Structure 1
Amino acid sequence: MKLNKHALHSKKGVLLKNTIMLYIMQFSTYFLSFIVVPYETRVLGATVYGKVGVATAIMVYFQLVIDFGFILSATEEVSLHRDDKQRVSRIFTSVTINKILLTIGSIVVLAVLCQAMPSWREDRTFYMLFLVATAVNSMMPDYLYRGLEQMETITVRAVVIKAFFTVMIVLLLKKPEQYCLIPILNIIGYAATLLFVYAHLSRKLDIHFTRVHAKDVWNNFRRSSTFFYSRIATSIYTASNTVILSIIAAGTSTVGYYSLSDKLVTTAKSGLSPISDSMYPYMTKNKDFKLVWKILKIFMPIIVIGCAVVAVFARPLLTIVFGAGYGDAAPVLRAMLPVVIVILPSYILGFPTLSAMGLSKYANYSVVFGSALHVFNLLVLYFTGHMNMVTLGALVSIAECAILAFRIVVIWRHRDRLNPSKGA
């Protein structure tokens, strides 16, 4: 029994280390974004910054297609077979082949869409550059390092890329017409770091590209499909709103205001995701459900108080940080703040908890449920004539709250599985 306690303590140490690494990665992203986003909003202006927001939203879809849920399915598979380097190398190779094929398909689809949609045609080069940057970034084998619980290298990679991008943007971006520099600099940073990561995998971790059968690639693709459906459903109540606004309010500052608010909420979500990201492989192996409640008790009061402060002072904060005129984004930011409040329990009670309970399919179902509700609400707004940036932001909050409620109900109905001694 003492050995088991010692082993669990050691595993918690690994969990803490990887959580810290993920937080360093996310904090650096947050800190550097705090520099680059206000700079971009001032140089580009709300209208051109709206174009960046639309491109970013469109790329969410293509990133989901190229990633195809491998960050979840492959992380779980690597975690279970981490001591078999040959098996891990086959997973690595199969995932990479699948991503290359999905990238080719994405380029064809984007080219067709840019030709078919007049509002996209003008910026098709900009969108295509963003897709190249997205594809290169998607080739990063984050799932390997998460599954192996060795986040140091990926952390260094993320910090270096973001630092490079921030410095170059400040040095080179001087007028709105130069907005294509944003994806170009991302391509350069992602490509250089991808080479470094692949070299590290080969030299330090003994993980290489290896011969695989077509059946292995297909099985890898099929296994990830369930996770893909869940992740693509998520985009329906996140990125879709920006795309909708780009159509109904093209060329106006409204898209820029919504994009900025969405960026802030996404940054907050990213600041909380390392907790669940590091817990996922840990919970898969250890089923330490008590840790879930401890984490929620610690963080939730802080999150609620922080959101209350932002809600009260939203307008002056936006004006001070992002420039004159951006205070008009305050209403939509307030409408989206409930997302920040519910996202941590939703993350933790999702794949980390439900997978450990043997109920991972319900984590996917909850997202599909939230997305279906969002589509229904979008139709209501459209037919009643109430679709605007504030109501769209509120719908995101409703969807996230519905997803959390779904997961809580599932866990409560299967609460007997929270006792790890049962079925052992």
Structure 2
Amino acid sequence: MFKNKVFENIFSLGISQIANVAFPLVTMPYVSRIIGPEGYGILNYSTAFIGYFTLFILYSFDLSGTKIISRNIQDKEFVSKAFSEVIYSRCILYVISSILFMISLFFGEVLHKDYVVSIILFLGLLSSVFSPQFIYQSFQDLKIFSKINVVRGFINMILIFLFVKTKQDYFYIPLFATVFNVTINIGLLIYAKRKYSLQLMRQPLNKLFTLIFNDRFIFISNVLGAFRATTNTIILGFFVTTKEIGYFTTSINFLFVVVNVLFIPISTAIYPFISNAFSKSTEVGNDIVKKIVPIITYFYFIICLCLLIFSPFLIKLIFGEKFNESIKILEIVSFAPLTMGLCNLLGVQVLLNYNFDKLYFRINLFCNIAGLLLNYYLSKKFGYYGAAWNIIFIDIMIIILCFCFLKKMKINIINWKYFSPKLIMLNLASIIKAKRLS
């Protein structure tokens, strides 16, 4: 059906993300009307906070692990060694996270107020420890994710309709997610171990800590990227009510649903494709990037335009009249898919493939510090509208800085002739015709 691994993986991940989104969209109107904005606020606040631990445990291994394994895919002993290092390193990070979580649970008012939800979500982090995505991505074998996510989503949807009946039942939502995620990831890990003949080998602690240290720049960059996505909610919580947090997180979570369905499959699939091109030469890699830039730009621009136009209809249809305040917020951030897509393209796909890890880290660090200060000011002065505008401002800042540094290093990733619709179709066809990644 597919002529190359890139589009096969995009299709598989796309189905997986659609399953992750479609089933929650079915339950969302039902759940939102039962638990209300306050229930959503509590659940989303805890989820945003636990998200930091998820990033810490996943570290940068989905990028660095994928890169190193895919380049040594024929060496079974090396692959098993890298596989073991990643799993054991995540175990260390989970132990550290457990200590930090207990401290946060004791001193954090919101987390302590609904500690059951917080504990359930934290236990769900075991799914991150055993996440086998880097293995399947290295072998470019992601079809299984789409099949499993469809089954999981359907069962989860049925259970929510059966058990969530009152406002107090909202804890079932993270409970079902935790049980399914942990069980599925452990199962996929065992399956990958058998399918690819992987051995879980003991690794000395000093080697694991060395691995964690060496990957620090990519990890911190990932954290800073997520920091932009979740910190708005945390800081906004200092100045507004739980109900207003519910309005804000409703729009932002819906936005991220759109972004994840379109963004994750594309960015995950083109990363090894672009990396492979750069392994041949920087000229080949840069030419591929020049062809991809207009495709990504036009695609995300159309999505943003649709999101802007249909925001009122979507919010009312999915969440109901009680969430009308969320419409304006969604309109403000409607062009975030484009800015986020360009941030990923310039940062992960270009800077990291040029081995500018430190530069990528510094850009993210500067923009996040600026964003933190700006977010505090905008949230305090304008409430959730200010927090929404902050998302767009920081993405634009990152895009501008990336372009400026690339220009300073005389790296040109834009060829305006490739923005012609005719050439876009020709370039897209040339990518599809590639039989496989070498």
TM > 0.5: yes
Change (3 A) 1:414 1:274: farther
- 8 Å contact 1:79–1:148 — kept in the other structure? yes
1:133 to 124, 135, 138: 124
The CA distance in 2 between the partners of 1:100 and 1:239, in whole Å, is 24
**Partner amino acid for 1:253?**
K
Residue 407 (str. 1) matches residue 407 (str. 2): no
- How far is 1:205 from its partner? 0.8
Residue 262 (str. 1) matches residue 262 (str. 2): no
Q: SS of 2:381's equivalent?
A: coil
2:384 to 374, 385, 389: 389
Residue 48 (str. 1) matches residue 43 (str. 2): no
Q: Which residue of 2 aligns with 1:352?
A: 349
TM-score with structure 2 setting the length = 0.86
Q: Which residue of 2 aligns with 1:300?
A: 297
Residue 285 (str. 1) matches residue 302 (str. 2): no
The CA distance in 1 between the partners of 2:134 and 2:76, in whole Å, is 15
**Partner amino acid for 1:140?**
S
The CA distance in 2 between the partners of 1:154 and 1:306, in whole Å, is 25
What does 1:12-411 correspond to in 2, within 5 Å? 13-250=4-241, 252-270=242-260, 271-287=262-278, 288-381=285-378, 385-411=380-406
Change (3 A) 1:29 1:119: closer
The CA distance in 2 between the partners of 1:233 and 1:299, in whole Å, is 23
- How far is 1:378 from its partner? 2.7
Q: SS of 2:198's equivalent?
A: coil
Change (3 A) 1:285 1:318: same
The CA distance in 2 between the partners of 1:277 and 1:244, in whole Å, is 30
The CA distance in 2 between the partners of 1:416 and 1:104, in whole Å, is 42
The CA distance in 1 between the partners of 2:63 and 2:162, in whole Å, is 37
**Partner amino acid for 2:256?**
T
Identity %: 19
Change (3 A) 1:294 1:36: farther
Q: SS of 1:184's equivalent?
A: helix
**Partner amino acid for 2:344?**
Y
Change (3 A) 1:174 1:208: farther
**Partner amino acid for 2:60?**
G
Change (3 A) 1:403 1:160: farther
The CA distance in 1 between the partners of 2:272 and 2:361, in whole Å, is 17
Change (3 A) 1:34 1:69: same
Change (3 A) 1:418 1:295: closer
- How far is 1:241 from its partner? 1.5
- 8 Å contact 1:339–1:401 — kept in the other structure? no
What does the per-residue CA deviation read over 1:22-60, in whole Å, with 9 as the maximum and x for residues that have no partner?
222222222223213333212211110111111111121
- 8 Å contact 1:337–1:397 — kept in the other structure? no
Q: Which residue of 1 aligns with 2:420?
A: none
- How far is 1:221 from its partner? 1.0
- How far is 1:416 from its partner? 4.7
**Partner amino acid for 1:402?**
M
Change (3 A) 1:132 1:113: same
- 8 Å contact 1:55–1:127 — kept in the other structure? yes
The CA distance in 1 between the partners of 2:78 and 2:364, in whole Å, is 31
- How far is 1:164 from its partner? 2.9
Change (3 A) 1:358 1:226: closer
- 8 Å contact 1:273–1:347 — kept in the other structure? no
What does the per-residue CA deviation read over 1:265-315, in whole Å, with 9 as the maximum and x for residues that have no partner?
212221222212111122222224333343343343343233234324422
The CA distance in 1 between the partners of 2:211 and 2:143, in whole Å, is 26
> Which structure 1 residue ranges, 5 or more long, are not aligned?
1-9, 420-424
- How far is 1:235 from its partner? 3.1
The CA distance in 2 between the partners of 1:245 and 1:418, in whole Å, is 37
Change (3 A) 1:367 1:159: farther
The CA distance in 2 between the partners of 1:162 and 1:368, in whole Å, is 36
Which piece of structure 1 moves more, 220-229 or 160-169? 160-169
Q: SS of 1:193's equivalent?
A: helix
TM-score with structure 1 setting the length = 0.89
The CA distance in 2 between the partners of 1:35 and 1:411, in whole Å, is 44
The CA distance in 2 between the partners of 1:245 and 1:253, in whole Å, is 12
- How far is 1:322 from its partner? 1.3
> Which structure 2 residue ranges, 5 or more long, are not aligned?
279-284, 415-438
- 8 Å contact 2:131–2:186 — kept in the other structure? no
**Partner amino acid for 1:261?**
S
- How far is 1:387 from its partner? 4.4
Which piece of structure 1 moves more, 256-265 or 215-224? 215-224
The CA distance in 1 between the partners of 2:105 and 2:161, in whole Å, is 30
